[in-house]
Amino acid sequence: MKVLFSPIGGTDPISNYRDGAMLHICRIYRPDKVYLYLSKEMCEYHDKDNRYVKAINYLAEEIGCNFEIEVLRDDEMRDVQIFDAFIDLFERYIEEIREKDMPDELLVNVSSGTPAMKSSLQMISMLWSEIVAIQVSTPKKALNKEHEDKDSYDVDVQWECNEDREADFENRSIISNASRLLDRIRKESIIKHIEVYDYESARALADTLSRKSSEEFWDCLNIAVARNKLDLFYVNANKKKYKISNWFPITKDKDMEEYEYLLSMQTKLWRKQYVDFIRDITPIFYSLSRKVLFRYCHLEFKDIGNEGTSSWYLSMEKLKKLGVTPESYWHDKTNISSNNILSIMKQLCDNKAILELMDNIRKAEREVRNLAAHEIMGVTYQWILKKTSFTPEAIMDMLFKYAECAGLKISEHERLIYNEMNHNLIDML
């Protein structure tokens, strides 16, 4: 079954000796059923002489086709210029048509009615599946400069003078391909996803574009996805193909791991993913503390402990030789952690600034990380501030400062390198 939904406009049913858009679509596509939407003004003309239904019946008789016609009256619709008035209304009508008639093909006329009606149907046809939008050009391929007097309209005369009844009439209808417009809308959404560091969503939406983006964009977007996931093996294997070395100012193995970890952590902060942000403190604090221990105390893990199969353990004997008094709960099977590194440094290091910074980061880790990791709770900006006396931004700043103390130099530009990457990706799109 083929169904046509058509608003009625000022050039329907016949104008300038030619079919109006609604009648022309009926002539070309021959739908089984036609729904005519009439606003208040069109209802008045319909009541005057039944011109819209009459013209369709004349066509049906002439071409030997049977059209079932249903008139959708909207006698209260006066604000025909307002887009918002029609998008929901037409969606509701179309949903009802789908449920009632279950058409194999649903046509919508995007050339009749007011601009608000046309644009609403065009938008619906882009977003709904199995809807075909039909455009009909004017006979002169330009705006209709002359309009019939609707009040003294004679549908019988109009039909007799209709040149589209001739055998060699011109088919002025085309299927409206709105894919380019939809692509533009989707690209704006892709840009928004990129700007908020949601590369997975950007990639999923980019996959729906009718005209696929360049290979460079796709490859670089995949690199951005991998980067944010800390898949540095993928990043390093693919980044050389394009001129994006500016995205990766730090490439030394361990330094790159820590730098990229901090950047990924920072995007979680920017996206207000506070639970993930808080959970990320422990691994980076531990990794940087190992470097800090060496820089400020000239000690490596082998100097304070023994290596096990999967981790390092404290050695009471080695600590005793260093003059370190173990905490009461330490033993030879105690894992080396950022917490006991801090305790060791408090006994061996006299740099108050680094000890204070470690204390503050440890406080943030202790007060919120364990709760966020092991309990069901809402983690908000205010909750973090209340628990730690630090804002999430301050915690991030402390971690970047701690990285500098560990020997990892990160400039302000390098800290914001994701934004440069985003600009480049948007330009590629």
In this predicted model, what pLDDT tens digit does every residue of 163-205 receive, in sequence order? 999 999 999 999 887 777 788 888 999 999 999 999 999 999 9
**Quick one: pLDDT at residue 242?**
93
Mean pLDDT of the chain: 92
How sure is the predictor about 151, in pLDDT bands with cuts at 50, 70 and 90?
confident
- Which of 132-141, 213-222, 319-328 is predicted with the least confidence, judged by mean pLDDT? 132-141
The answer as to whether 419 is a domain residue is no
The answer as to whether 49 is a domain residue is yes
- Same-domain check for residues 23 and 171: yes
Q: CB neighbours of 189 closer than 8 A, spacing ≥ 6?
A: 205
Range of the domain at 111: 2-177
Nearest to 21 by CA among 128, 103, 144: 144
Asked if 131 and 172 touch (Cβ cutoff 8 Å), the reply is no
Q: CB neighbours of 94 closer than 8 A, spacing ≥ 6?
A: 5, 106, 108, 124, 128, 131
Domain count, the chain: 2
The structure's pTM equals: 0.72
- Which of 126-130, 161-165, 245-249, 264-268 is predicted with the least confidence, judged by mean pLDDT? 126-130
Over residues 124-149, the mean pLDDT reads 74
The answer as to whether 240 is a domain residue is no
Residue identified by tokens 């894919």 is 179
- Same-domain check for residues 299 and 173: no
Asked if 149 and 1 touch (Cβ cutoff 8 Å), the reply is no
The answer as to whether 280 is a domain residue is yes
Model pLDDT for residues 44-102, shown as the tens digit of each residue:
999 999 999 999 999 999 999 999 999 999 999 888 887 778 888 999 999 999 999 99
The answer as to whether 216 is a domain residue is no
The answer as to whether 213 is a domain residue is no
Sign of the alpha-carbon torsion through 246, 251, 255, 261: positive
**Quick one: pLDDT at residue 377?**
66
* pLDDT-above-90 percentage for the chain: 79
Q: State how far Cα 17 lies from the chain centre.
A: 48
- Which of 20-34, 66-80, 227-241 is predicted with the least confidence, judged by mean pLDDT? 66-80
- Same-domain check for residues 147 and 41: yes
Q: CB neighbours of 300 closer than 8 A, spacing ≥ 6?
A: 293, 294
Over residues 228-256, the mean pLDDT reads 95
**Residue 142 pLDDT exceeds 60:** no
Over residues 203-208, the mean pLDDT reads 93
Give the integer Cα–Cα distance in Å for 100 and 91: 14
**Residue 403 pLDDT exceeds 90:** yes
The answer as to whether 99 is a domain residue is yes
**Residue 236 pLDDT exceeds 70:** yes
Return the structure tokens found at 214: 């360049």
- Same-domain check for residues 163 and 287: no
The answer as to whether 139 is a domain residue is yes
Q: Which residue has the higher pLDDT, 139 or 347?
A: 347
Give the integer Cα–Cα distance in Å for 311 and 291: 16
Give the integer Cα–Cα distance in Å for 121 and 263: 44
**Quick one: pLDDT at residue 189?**
95
Q: CB neighbours of 367 closer than 8 A, spacing ≥ 6?
A: 387, 388
- Same-domain check for residues 7 and 148: yes
Sign of the alpha-carbon torsion through 390, 396, 397, 398: positive
- Same-domain check for residues 157 and 19: yes
Over residues 225-229, the mean pLDDT reads 97
Supply the CATH number for residue 137's domain: 3.40.50.10770
Q: State how far Cα 320 lies from the chain centre.
A: 58
**Residue 221 pLDDT exceeds 60:** yes
**Quick one: pLDDT at residue 234?**
97
**Residue 417 pLDDT exceeds 70:** yes
Q: Which residues are registered as beta bridge partners of 131?
A: 106
**Quick one: pLDDT at residue 141?**
54
Q: Answer whether the bond into residue 283 is a cis peptide, omega within 30°.
A: no
Model pLDDT for residues 272-322, shown as the tens digit of each residue:
999 899 999 999 999 999 999 999 999 999 999 999 998 999 999 999 999
- Same-domain check for residues 170 and 280: no
Q: What's the 3-state SS for the chain? A: CEEEEEECCCCCCEECCEECHHHHHHHHHCCCEEEEEECHHHHHHHHHHCHHHHHHHHHHHHHCCCCEEEEEECCCCCCCCCCHHHHHHHHHHHHHHHHHHCCCEEEEECCCCCHHHHHHHHHHHHHCCCEEEEEECCCCCCCCCCCCCHHHCCHHHHHHCCHHHCCCCCCCEEECCCHHHHHHHHHHHHHHHHHCCCHHHHHHHHCCCCCCCCHHHHHHHHHHHHHHCCCHHHHHHHHHHCCCHHHCCCCCHHHHHHHHHHHHHHHHHHCCCHHHHHHCHHHHHHHHHHHHHHHHHCCCHHHHEEECCCCEEECHHHHHHHCCCCCCCCCCCCECCHHHHHHHHHHHCCCHHHHHHHHHHHHHHHHHHHHHHHCCCCCCHHHHHHHHCCCHHHHHHHHHHHHHHCCCCCCHHHHCHHHHHHHHHHHHC
Domain end position, chosen among 147, 177, 207: 177
Amino acid at 412: E
- Same-domain check for residues 31 and 141: yes
